[in-house]
Amino acid sequence: MLDRLGRRHRPAQIVEAVTSARAAGFRSVNLDLIFGTPGETLVSWNDTLDRAVALEPDHVSCYALTVEPGTELGRAVARGAPAPDPDLQADFYESACERLVAGGLVRYEVSNWARPGHTVRYNLAVWAQAEYLAFGMGAHRFRDGARSHNRRLLDGYLRSIERGDSATAGSEVVDGWFAEVERVFLGIRRVAGVAAGQAGDALMSSEEGHRLAAAGVIELAGGRLVVKRPLLTDHVARAVLALAPP
């Protein structure tokens, strides 16, 4: 799987890295896992999960492999190679939920599990519309109600820095109804959900909201909108984005 993803490290180096991090005194150690590479099986994925849990990490992030333009995988798929199978990825995700929880980690966000006291503050801050800075090529920031991103290509980024100019390539103001909709579609990534507010109430009263609630996908409990089936979080987010302003 590492070879197919173009990764240069070997499985033994993962163990070495975790061991070294512990020996160096790092309080929190995270493992990133990607599932759904073409050719991966549920058996091999479960083996990956079991080996990860055996290392006793404090935090684990699991992401479904996506085909991005400009990558080797993207070029291979364009040439006719198999793409990730979403049905298999759903099975892999459900298996991750079972094995990671059994290993003592708690899911607090769609793609993240942690032991008590080791949730990632940055993750939770982003889903709560908190501010963050950007450093480096293609990095994004959110400050004073505006989101912006830096230049993506190295040459252009360096030219801006060397001239003493801003490396910002574009920005948008997040306000009004868009800010309210964003608050909800970001907040529903958390297991705790998000205060319903205008957008949440609008979703629950819409035709799509009724359908999602009847299917057990979303729930309004104590004034909070919660996604009960995390695999469909992106679908719910698209439904929120489609809401018309009041």
Cα-based angle 124, 53, 95 (whole degrees, multiple of 5): 80
Tokens of 160: 């801006």
Q: What is the dihedral of CA 240, 151, 5, 237, to 10 degrees?
A: 0
Point out which residues pair with 34 in neighbouring strands: 63
Point out which residues pair with 173 in neighbouring strands: 146
Q: What is the pLDDT of residues 173-193, one digit of tens each?
A: 999 999 999 999 999 999 999
Cβ of 178: how many Cβ atoms within 10 Å? 14
Residue ranges and CATH numbers for the domains of the chain are 11-119 (3.30.750), 120-174 (no CATH), 178-241 (no CATH)
Confidence band for 79, pLDDT divided at 50, 70 and 90: very high
Q: What is the pLDDT of residues 11-47, one digit of tens each?
A: 999 999 999 999 999 999 999 999 999 999 999 999 9
Q: What is the mean pLDDT of the chain?
A: 95
pLDDT at residue 199, as a whole number: 97
Q: What share of the chain is helix, strand, coil (3-state, %, to 5)?
A: 45, 20, 35
pLDDT at residue 69, as a whole number: 86
Please give the order of strands across the beta sheet that includes 112-114.
30-35, 59-64, 112-114, 106-109
Tokens of 119: 């949730």
Side chain identity at residue 12, one-letter code: A
Confidence band for 72, pLDDT divided at 50, 70 and 90: confident
Confidence band for 70, pLDDT divided at 50, 70 and 90: confident
